[in-house]
Amino acid sequence: MVLADLGSRVAVALRKMAQAPLVDKDVLNEMLTEICKALLQADVNVAQVKHLRESIKKNVDVESLASGMNKRKMLEQAVCNELCSMLDPGKEPYAPKKKQANVIMFVGLQGAGKTTTCTKYAYMHKRKGFKCALVCADTFRAGAFDQLKQNATKAKIPFYGSYTETDPAQIAAEGTAKFREEGYEIIIVDTSGRHMQEAALFEEMQQVSDAVAPDEVIFVMDSSIGQAAHEQASAFKKKVAVGSVIITKLDGHAKGGGALSAVAATGAPITHIGTGEHVEDFEDFEVKSFVSRMLGKGNIAGLAPEMMKRLTQGNWTLRDMREQFQAVLKMGPLSNIMNQFPGMGGLDFHESGARIKKHHPLEVVELLDQFKLMATTMQKTIKKNKKMGKAGQDLHNMDAATVAQMMHKMNPQMLQHLGGQAGLEQMMAEM
């Protein structure tokens, strides 16, 4: 992912600052210059970059602070906070509710990745336990229904559409009524792609919207348009009640940073991102988690605070383990996670990742053993951290170590990849 380049450049700038013998104005300026350069190259708007720079300078006055670790930590935190506030529109997106019909209408420019994203969205929510269905209201593009049908069939999601009906509002109304009646919880309506200048198509979009009365309208946007995302998202927001945005094709574009920050600036929350053509190449977008991951802080397997409490009280359950596994799997292939640790890039963790994914009945005993081991390991790690007076530290940082330890303990094969126990211990010491 091109954004990973941005992340690693920012991380290098932070590390350089952290390693400087003395953090003074010059070191701070050098770090900010590096970070700003990286942001500009990722197509982030100049004014936003300038704001970030000024804001960090204003918030951390290096000259008047006492020397030592705190200064570095404060600067690191200030950079993280500024990146987060640049990407955070400060608005909660719509969250589909279970046991009721949530009609979600997808709109966007042609080729943005709408049809692909509809299936990805349905598939992700199906895995979260929602009953999902797809309705094709794109009568404009030849082959649109076939494409949706093909994607939906592959992902085993029920669908509705027509080869003969030409009125998209009619199909949309029929499809949503049918799925509502059948008790579907997420009914996704895919519409034709349109451009903001196409007045007739905008009117048609309004008709579809009137026909289905969506609970949420999601605008799908291709990240390669970079900063132009601002103009597009604003135009769509003015014409239909866009509640949130999904940004696609973040797997390959240098302009990703521009698109993300530009959309956030319109005040529309980004809920998900597309990171590839496959149905699973889709992620929840949560600003803090995204920024920490971008900066290579192994974070996202972060334990939720309630889970943490249960764990420290000795109430770690199988359900917690399942959630933790799911969080780890959401981080992508294990190789991605491990690449974030010093000296671990380029190793093959494919098999280990596949093993977590596929637990067949015969492996249940092994799974239970892993569960016990994991509970013990996590408790030990937490106790150790507490003893070291780090109890209040950012959970995210601690979890990187926890996840690595846990993976290693669960998977003897990984030892081979790690080059033996000594290799792992060295890695831990370096973290």
Task: Note the residues at the interface with ligand GDP (CB under 6 A).
Answer: 108, 110-116, 193, 248-249, 251-252, 274-277, 281
State both tokens at 152.
């939906």
Closest to ligand GDP by CB, 115 vs 340, is: 115
Q: How far is the CB of 26 from ligand GDP (least distance, A)?
A: 41
Structure tokens at 208: 């579809």
> Which is closer to ligand GDP, CB of 275 or CB of 289?
275
User: Least separation, in Å, of the C-beta of 109 and ligand GDP?
Assistant: 7
Nearest to 260, CA basis, from 109, 8, 42, 94: 42
CB of 273 to ligand GDP, least distance (A): 8
Distance in angstroms (rounded) separating the CA atoms of residues 62 and 78: 12
Q: Pick the closer one to ligand GDP by CB: 248 or 385.
A: 248
- Find the shortest distance in angstroms from Cβ 319 to ligand GDP: 31
DSSP assignment, residue 349? -
- Check: CB of residue 134 under 8 Å from CB of residue 158: yes
CB of 238 to ligand GDP, least distance (A): 20
d(CA 208, CA 200): 13
Q: In this complex, which beta carbon is closest to ligand GDP, that of residue 284 or of residue 363?
A: 284
Closer residue to ligand GDP in complex, CB, 145/316: 145
Identify any residues that bridge with 106 across adjacent strands, giving them in sequence order: 190, 218
Q: Which is nearer to ligand GDP, 193 or 269 (CB)?
A: 193
Q: How far is the CB of 39 from ligand GDP (least distance, A)?
A: 22
To the nearest whole angstrom, how small is the minimum distance from the Cβ of residue 247 to ligand GDP? 9
CB 211, CB 175: distance < 8 Å: no
Cα–Cα distance between 18 and 27 in angstroms, integer?
9
Closest CB to ligand GDP among residues 193, 353: 193
Nearest Cα to Cα of residue 28 among 3, 63, 52, 66: 63
Between CA 380 and CA 387 the distance in angstroms is 10
Nearest residue relative to ligand GDP (C-beta):
274
**Could you give phi then psi for residue 191, rounded to 5 degrees?**
-115, 170
Our CA angle for 158, 161, 167, nearest 5°, is 150
